[in-house]
Structures are given as structure tokens and as C-alpha cells.
Amino acid sequence: MKIAFFDAKPYDLPAFEKYGAEQGMEFAFYDTKLNINTVALAAGCDAVCVFVNDVLDAPVIDRLYEQGVKLIALRCAGYNNVDLGHAFGRLHVVHVPAYSPYAVAEHAMALLLTSIRRIHKAYNRTKDFNFSLSGLTGFDLHGKTVGVVGTGRIGRVFIDICRGFGMNVIAYDKFPAENSGIEYVSLGELFERSDIISLHCPLTEETHHLIDQEAIERLKKGVVIINTSRGALIDAEALLEGIKSRKVGAACLDVYEEESDVFFRDFSGHIMSDDVLARLISMPNVIVTSHQAFLTEEALDNIAETTVKNIASYFNDGVCDNELCYRCGRIETCKKERRERCF
């Protein structure tokens, strides 16, 4: 089996080479992203292995299909960058539903603590031997209300962490977790009651710009917003206006709506062409990390192992439990009943 591996980074290679060798797979690693201009690199391959910012729209899927590619293997949980409807009947799609919910949830809490306790500012000061405490006053998490949007694996781990800090937890999910002991409320109530809001839901047509100008108007003054899921859950321009108007007290972002041309690359020494991102980063109450919440040794190993197993299952066993099924409309949940490929 030969697999074209797009958007490859040095930290990806060791685990994929290890697990790939065990299955007799040959990976062709490309540091470029998959799009219509690079799709020819997959010619002669059985599958493509892609990440969050690779583009798998209809034209790319058609070219992959014409080149004989049979499988799209996502090495991530999200699949908003894949046109699943167009892939149906052409290419099968598999993903990694869980790799380390702890990695992402812990990063969300790290962002929150860094922001409210001004740790990043204190670090920069003390590097210059400035030990003044002026401007570093934060607030306790104990007793604060945190609203968690999305209570899948990551959301529930984040809730456990918040409970450990003595926080009051409320949550919204279209499909509440049964017997979880979580207090579910409407999205509107969550917006109005929360001191802190953390997003842990997938990006869909329904959740696109979940936090927009209208939503920000309903938030408590001084609310802290955390996003470690997908950038387009938040209207970045509306967020910027919310920060400027002092309605949003702080923003902790590991993802950004237009990150595909920026994140995972070094632009130091260059002019930032994205004005909204540049203005967000310039705000003293905004922390931006470059989609690194998943980046732990444990998560990287789990991602590689599961991705390789997905590919091997498809080609060797004829079916993969982690296939994304478009036929029935239950894209992920039908895998519990699946005994055959989606098509």
C-alpha cells in the first residue's frame, strides 16, 4: 500500500513510519497541503492521509478518484474540510474519532489559566528582571460558572477539570450525554449565565459562527471565550468588536477562522496579511496558539496508530469501524451497526 501524506511535519514522521512499517505501508511525505494544485502528487497512491487544513472539495475528490485513489484517511477527528456528499460513491473516508481528549482539554484549561492569571505577561516581565505586580491581578476560577458547548469526549474531560477547580458547570449539546450528571441548558441560557465559555463541538452548517454579533450581545460583560475546536465556530470580526467594546473580557484561541494559510508556518519577520488575526493578537487580553492543543506525545502516537489501523482495516478487512458514512445521514454513529462499507 502506498499512501500520499500531505501537510507533513517533523513530529508526524516517527510514529507513522513505525506503525506504517508494521503494516507494510509506504508513506510518501509531502510538506505541502492537499489542494487542487497539489493533488497530482497522489497519482499512483492507494490512499491519501490528510489533516485539518487540507482541502478535499469536489474538484480535488474528482481528481483523486480519476488517479485511482480509493481512500481518504483523516488523521484528525473533524471532517468539515471534506465534501462527504461528493465523496460518496467515489472515495471512502475514515477518521480518528479520539486520540487524546486529555491533550485538548488540558490545553484549553492551560489557556484559561494563562489568560486570567496573566502568566504570559509575568513571564515576559521577569525575563527582563521586572518583578512588578502592577496589572497582573486575575480572578479565582472557584465558584465561577463555565458553559461548555459540546459534551463529547473532550468536552466531558474539560468538565471534569473544571469541577476540580470548584467551578459551576452548565452545558449545551444537541445530543446530551445520558446519565452524565451534567446540567444541560439551552444555548441562550448558557450564553447569559456563563462567566467562561469553552467550545468543544464540531464545525457544521448549524454551528458555523455559533458565536456571532448577536450571540456576543447576549453574553455577560467580561466573559472569557475559549476555542480549541474549529476556528469558524466564532465570527472573528464579531469577536474583535466584542473585545473592543469591552463585552468580551478575554479570548483564548487555539484555532482561527482563516488559519489554513497561516497556522503551522513561520511568519516571523514577515508582514501579517490577515488584518483581523493581526489585530486579535495585538490585543492584551487575547492569547492565540497555533492549533497545538492536540500536540502531545501520547496524542501523536494514538493518531498514527489509529490512522494506520484504519487504512489497514479498509484494504485488508474490507471494512473500517471509523468510516464516515454519508449514505444513512448518521455520519459517525452508524459505525456501531456497520458490517459493511458505506458504499
Can you tell me the distance from the alpha carbon of 262 to that of 307, in angstroms, rounded to the nearest whole number?
25
Can you tell me the distance from the alpha carbon of 99 to that of 85, in angstroms, rounded to the nearest whole number?
25
Beta bridge partners of 272: none
Q: Give me the catalytic one of 106, 257, 259, 323.
A: 259
Active site residue 230: yes
Phi/psi-derived region of residue 43, left when phi > 0, alpha when psi is between -120 and 50, beta in every other case? beta
- Whether the CB-CB separation of 32 and 315 falls below 8 Å is answered with no
Q: What is the CA radius of gyration of the chain?
A: 21
Q: Give me the catalytic one of 95, 230, 257, 323.
A: 230
DSSP structural state of residue 162: H
Active site residue 327: no
Question: Own/partner pairs for 323-328, CB < 8 Å, 24+ apart?
Answer: 323/92, 323/93, 323/94, 324/79, 324/82, 324/84, 324/93, 324/94, 324/95, 326/84, 326/85, 326/87, 326/88, 327/88
Active site residue 291: yes
Helices (H), the chain: 13-22, 58-66, 84-87, 101-116, 119-127, 153-164, 187-193, 213-218, 236-244, 275-282, 297-312
Phi/psi-derived region of residue 240, left when phi > 0, alpha when psi is between -120 and 50, beta in every other case? alpha
Output the nine-digit C-alpha cell for 18: 513505525
DSSP 3-state of 341? coil
- Whether the CB-CB separation of 260 and 286 falls below 8 Å is answered with no
Q: Give me the catalytic one of 92, 95, 200, 291.
A: 291
Active site residues per annotation:
230, 259, 291
